């Protein structure tokens, strides 16, 4: 029985990819024009796989406007892009916009939300997405949670899954996350990749990219090929996304042995390692530092003082994400993208 044509959401963070690491490292720029182009590539793939409608928030930087314009063009007609519906939400130009857009999409019952941003953007969407899966695309500075992938391929996988042509049990994976609690500040936040503990006293320009600024790193997962703070663990004590545990590492510039790690794009630094270990789900960890800042997924977000007692706890009930490789491998095995003569996208079908 054919599935009803689904709706999917797309959220692109206009602010991602512009932080201090352009000055302190050699990070590149992902402009709004690039993001609008990536969304158009997603729409082409969604259209080809049967997605009927796409929800997108408006923004102040022209991303939605560029996509709306493209939707009226010849490519959209020829490739049967889904119908675009803009969510006209009040804009604050802060992370609150991302969170609100996610809530509206969940309320609208979207099959999944495609996210274009960095680790921070994905974290904000995941906090509101509940059980709605995420199709993750990296447009940030140094991302570990979203994989670097071409939007068209990712869109094909997302479209197949949204249309029910690939079973969720095969195409979705459950991620881990870290719960950061500071009871004295009534703070409870989630991180999707890692939490770094820094002696820097203030949030300041947010990004951390120097080994001197790191005392501890706790990670849900840490891949050897990662870029950013989780690379420290990835090259010392790697943990896969699928493993039930996480890992931590303690740093000190005076340590006997220093690990060379790519802590930011173009910035390979020696990081003195004094101890490391395993994070088990449900076990809260206290910090070795009395006061400083906590960087969640690469950006300082929480300042803590001597009167605070922050804890970090691994949790295995993080967001669902589309396993693009698994979905497309399944599609290949079952020729899911084969279309018969007469299909609107078959080459013999007149335009």
Among 96, 275, 305, 317, binds another protein (CB under 8 A): 305
Q: Which is nearer to another protein, 178 or 196 (CB)?
A: 196
Least distance CB 332 / another protein (angstroms): 38
* Numbers of helices and strands, H then E, in the chain: 10, 18
Q: Which is nearer to another protein, 20 or 258 (CB)?
A: 20
Site for another protein in 158-187 (CB under 8 A): none
Among 206, 266, 329, 336, binds another protein (CB under 8 A): 206
- Give the single-character DSSP code of 185: G
Q: Which is nearer to another protein, 124 or 331 (CB)?
A: 124
Do residues 229 and 141 make contact, with C-beta atoms less than 8 angstroms apart?
no
**Binding status of residue 99 toward another protein by CB under 8 A:** no
**Binding status of residue 37 toward another protein by CB under 8 A:** no
The alpha carbon of 5 is separated from its chain's Cα centroid by a whole number of angstroms, namely: 26
**Binding status of residue 62 toward another protein by CB under 8 A:** yes
Least distance CB 264 / another protein (angstroms): 12
Q: What DSSP element (H or E) covers 97?
A: helix 95-107
Least distance CB 188 / another protein (angstroms): 19
- Give the single-character DSSP code of 6: P
Among 6, 8, 13, 14, binds another protein (CB under 8 A): 14
Task: Find the part of the chain contacting another protein (CB under 8 A) among 204-212, 278-286, 309-317, 321-329.
Answer: 204-212
Number of residues that bind another protein (CB under 8 A): 29
Calpha distance 219→178 (Å, rounded): 8
Identify the residue whose tokens are 């939605």: 64
Among 41, 58, 60, 104, binds another protein (CB under 8 A): 60
**Binding status of residue 23 toward another protein by CB under 8 A:** yes
Q: Which is nearer to another protein, 109 or 199 (CB)?
A: 199
**Binding status of residue 15 toward another protein by CB under 8 A:** yes
Calpha distance 330→313 (Å, rounded): 35
Per-residue contact string for residues 183-202; x = within reach of another protein by CB under 8 A: ----------------xxxx
Task: Find the part of the chain contacting another protein (CB under 8 A) among 82-90, 298-306, 317-325, 334-342.
Answer: 298-306
**Binding status of residue 61 toward another protein by CB under 8 A:** yes
| Token code pair at residue 81 | 């892009």
> CB under 8 Å to 74, separation ≥6 — which residues?
none
**Binding status of residue 140 toward another protein by CB under 8 A:** no
Q: Which is nearer to another protein, 266 or 277 (CB)?
A: 266
Q: Which is nearer to another protein, 14 or 234 (CB)?
A: 14
Q: Which is nearer to another protein, 3 or 309 (CB)?
A: 309
Residues in the site for another protein, rule: CB under 8 A? 14-15, 18-20, 22-24, 29, 31-32, 60-63, 199-206, 212-213, 291, 303, 305-306
């Amino acid at each position: 029985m054919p599935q009803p044509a689904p709706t999917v959401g797309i959220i692109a963070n206009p602010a991602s990819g512009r932080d201090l690491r352009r000055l302190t490292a050699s990070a590149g720029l992902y402009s709004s024009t690039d993001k609008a182009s990536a969304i158009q590539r997603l729409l082409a793939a969604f259209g080809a796989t049967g997605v009927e409608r796409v929800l997108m928030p408006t923004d102040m930087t022209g991303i939605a406007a560029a996509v709306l314009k493209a939707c009226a063009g010849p490519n959209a007609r020829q490739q049967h892009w889904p119908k675009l519906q803009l969510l006209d939400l009040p804009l604050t130009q802060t992370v609150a916009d991302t969170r609100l857009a996610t809530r509206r999409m969940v309320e609208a019952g979207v099959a999944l939300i495609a996210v274009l941003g960095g680790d921070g953007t994905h974290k904000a969407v995941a906090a509101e997405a509940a059980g709605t899966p995420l199709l993750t695309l990296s447009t940030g500075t140094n991302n570990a949670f979203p994989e670097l992938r071409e939007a068209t391929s990712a869109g094909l996988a997302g479209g197949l899954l949204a249309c029910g042509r690939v079973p969720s049990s095969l195409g979705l994976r459950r991620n881990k996350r870290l719960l950061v609690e500071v009871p004295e500040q009534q703070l409870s936040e989630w991180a999707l990749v890692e939490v770094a503990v820094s002696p820097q006293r203030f949030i300041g320009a947010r990004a951390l990219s120097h080994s001197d600024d790191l005392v501890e790193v706790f990670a849900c997962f840490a891949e050897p090929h990662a870029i950013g703070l989780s690379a420290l663990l990835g090259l010392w004590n790697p943990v896969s996304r699928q493993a039930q545990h996480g890992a931590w590492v303690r740093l000190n510039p005076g340590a006997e042995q220093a690990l060379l790690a790519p802590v930011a794009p173009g910035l390979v630094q020696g990081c003195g390692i004094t101890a490391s270990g395993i994070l088990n789900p449900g076990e809260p960890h206290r910090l070795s530092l009395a006061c400083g800042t906590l960087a969640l997924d690469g950006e300082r977000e929480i300042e803590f003082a001597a009167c605070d007692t922050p804890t970090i706890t691994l949790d295995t009930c993080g967001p669902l994400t589309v396993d693009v490789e698994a979905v497309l491998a399944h599609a290949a095995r079952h020729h899911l993208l084969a279309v018969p003569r007469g299909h609107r996208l078959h080459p013999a079908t007149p335009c």
